[in-house]
Chain A
Amino acid sequence: DTAVSQTPKYLVTQMGNDKSIKCEQNLGHDTMYWYKQDSKKFLKIMFSYNNKELIINETVPNRFSPKSPDKAHLNLHINSLELGDSAVYFCASSYPGQGAGEAFFGQGTRLTVV
């Protein structure tokens, strides 16, 4: 019974294409995130949504557009894909004000732009 699930797990696409990654959480959390792990293995936050409202936008190119239809879903749309967008993208969710604010992560989507 997966807590945070994202699809697809692997995505290979050509430069210039538009693609989406979907994320769903069944933990009842109010806040969802997108993180990016680049080729140097750094994990960095991209976006944070709380109850469908954008809270954090970390200077991500506007080709990346998150969409939260409800608090259990946060999808990531990427337009005009570039080679540098190749990375692993992780969705996560949490109750930020509860305990240490630990986030629960999905398994990741490995995006390869060719």
Chain B
Amino acid sequence: DQQVKQNSPSLSVQEGRISILNCDYTNSMFDYFLWYKKYPAEGPTFLISISSIKDKNEDGRFTVFLNKSAKHLSLHIVPSQPGDSAVYFCTKNQGGKLIFGQGTELSVKP
């Protein structure tokens, strides 16, 4: 039972444009959703989160939107930079347990 789904395994964007990474979930029980970024041969690093009671959280170039009625969230990166190229994981915090989506590999081309 895959509770967190990232249906796009990869995304390619031009530098300076907006990157939009999408995530769907099935079980509405959660405290937070988090986005993690992972470079090859490194561990995931925390990027941004959103509480279940909010619909938007912004931190610099990164904004996460939560649509509870659609059970959907998205991460917007604007403007995208080549250093943003990594795998992004949508992650649900359910009672202290992190449940990861399968990841979307973002490639930002100069």
Contact = CB atoms under 8 A, between A and B. Distances in A.
Contact of B45 (A33, A48, A99, A105): A105
B42 A45 contact: no
Interface residues of A, number: 28
A90 B44 contact: yes
Interface string B44-82: 111001110000000000000000000000000000000
Interface residues of B, number: 22
B interface, over-half SS: strand
A61 B100 CA distance: 21
Interface of B: 31-32, 34, 41-46, 49-51, 87, 89, 93, 96-100, 102-103
A108 B43 contact: yes
Contact of A100 (B42, B45, B51, B89): B51
Given A40-B102, A100-B34, A107 B41 contact: yes
